[in-house]
Amino acid sequence: MSAPVALVILDGVGDRPHPDTGGRSPLEAATTPSLDRLARLGQMGSVTVVGPGIAPESDAGVFALLGYDPVHDSPGRGVLEALGVDLPLAPEDVALRLNFATADGTGLILDSRVGRSLTTRESEELASALTAADLVAGEGVHAEVRATVGHRGVLWLRAGPDETLSPNISNADPFYEKLGGMGSARRPETPRILPVQALDGSEGAARTARVLNLFLGRVGGVLAGHRVNARRAMAGKQIANALLVRNAGRLPSPPPPSFEKRHRMAGASLTEMPVEKGIARVLSLTDRYVGPMGPDRDAGYRERARIARELLDRFPFVYVHLKGPDEPGHDGDAVLKKEIIEAIDRSFFAPFLEGLDLGRIRLGVTADHATPAIVKSHTDDPVPLLIVGAGIPSTGSPTARFDEAEAVRGSLGPLRGSDVLGLLFRPTPAP
């Protein structure tokens, strides 16, 4: 019989050496006594989360780590985000993930995240204005924009009774390539908003691409003069005058098998962002959505540790997603990424492990992708994996650390994301 399992995913924790952290990665430079103790007690390996050459988005990485094929099993980032904010999608609707962005008059993207200073309240005001404008009503399609967290949101397309839409369209966001239901990060030299194109010969795909291009061409007129942007311009902040949309999808039919059906055990999740909440809904995991981190980082991680322990007392499998390391990776801030890793070790792992019987449970720690601060984007770099606990013999040295270099030398060797649960779910040897 297998022991209860907790899988903690540190979003984007994988990295590369950076001059601001002494020529080491932020993870290598961080002081992490709790994780290092686990590395000495367990086993480590290096995980290519989806495949060589694929820099996955978080949803694709999570699907792979939970034992699913992100290309075929995921309904797409747009649908996952929409489910995460409880939009009542109909089977024929199409949903896309969006970013409010800053662009010049030629479509050149100046900042894909509006300087990461756009508040959720500001996004909500801009989203309401775009929805009220009903920019493609003349095309028989209603476009609703729903803000989620900060600069992020969802574009929800609903067709009239005589219109058909299709999610089989390309991205306008040049930073991501659509591969089935999965997104893969790209690094264009000159990032411009791309024209949306049909990816098949269907009338629905052609119509959806045309409608989206019309919509995206009209949003600037609504956004540029909005009071939110007037206030931001007066304050010397970047304005949100463009939308980047990607990963169109629709409700899966049939849906992928639930986590319980696939793995023959009930599961729970602790999530911080709408996309992760959406994954939990698609896979029928019992979800505790705690929302984005507040201003007191240490208090937030302690609360997450408490909830994770509660879930582990009730369910044989618990997946915990901690967003923290990813954003400073995107922003190129290696020092802040190091500090967040240290906060996770100090205020999540230390209280989570207090009084926990590692002879009774198994714990896995890994990442959904790498976000090197030197690159400011997701990459296909392998990420560290640590497994420890019941029935897992220690192969770590007395000086082992949880970092990329140790993972490459680890006894588990090179792995794929789809291997991780198999290692954690191996039957516990009989005493």
Could you tell me the two tokens for 234?
């007066």
pLDDT for the residue 396: 80
Distance, in Å, from the CA atom of 344 to the CA atom of 194, rounded to the nearest integer, reads: 38
Task: Find out whether 16 and 372 touch, Cβ atoms under 8 Å.
Answer: yes
| Closest to 41 measured CA to CA, from 378, 403, 397 | 397
Handedness of CA 392, 396, 402, 406 (dihedral sign): negative
Predicted confidence (pLDDT) per residue in 161-177, tens digit? 878 999 999 999 999 99
Distance, in Å, from the CA atom of 149 to the CA atom of 117, rounded to the nearest integer, reads: 11
Task: Find out whether 410 and 45 touch, Cβ atoms under 8 Å.
Answer: yes
Provide the residue-wise pLDDT of the chain in tens; the chain has 431 residues: 479 999 999 999 999 999 999 999 999 999 999 999 999 999 999 999 999 999 999 999 999 999 999 999 999 999 999 999 999 999 999 999 999 999 998 999 999 999 999 999 999 999 999 999 999 999 999 999 999 999 999 999 999 887 899 999 999 999 999 988 888 999 998 999 999 999 999 999 999 999 999 999 999 999 999 999 999 999 999 999 999 999 999 998 899 999 999 999 999 999 999 999 999 999 999 999 999 999 999 999 999 999 999 999 999 999 999 999 999 999 999 999 999 999 999 999 999 999 999 999 999 999 999 999 999 999 999 999 999 999 999 998 889 999 999 999 999 999 999 999 999 998 866 55
C-alpha count within 13 angstroms, C-beta hemisphere, residue 16: 13
Distance, in Å, from the CA atom of 95 to the CA atom of 115, rounded to the nearest integer, reads: 25
pLDDT for the residue 109: 97
Could you tell me the two tokens for 147?
């803000």
pLDDT for the residue 429: 61
Any idea where the domains of the chain sit in the sequence? 5-74+256-424, 80-249
What dotted CATH number matches 5-74+256-424? 3.40.720.10
In Å, what is the CA distance from 86 to each residue of 222, 277, 408? 26, 10, 41
pLDDT for the residue 180: 82
pLDDT for the residue 430: 54
pLDDT for the residue 1: 47
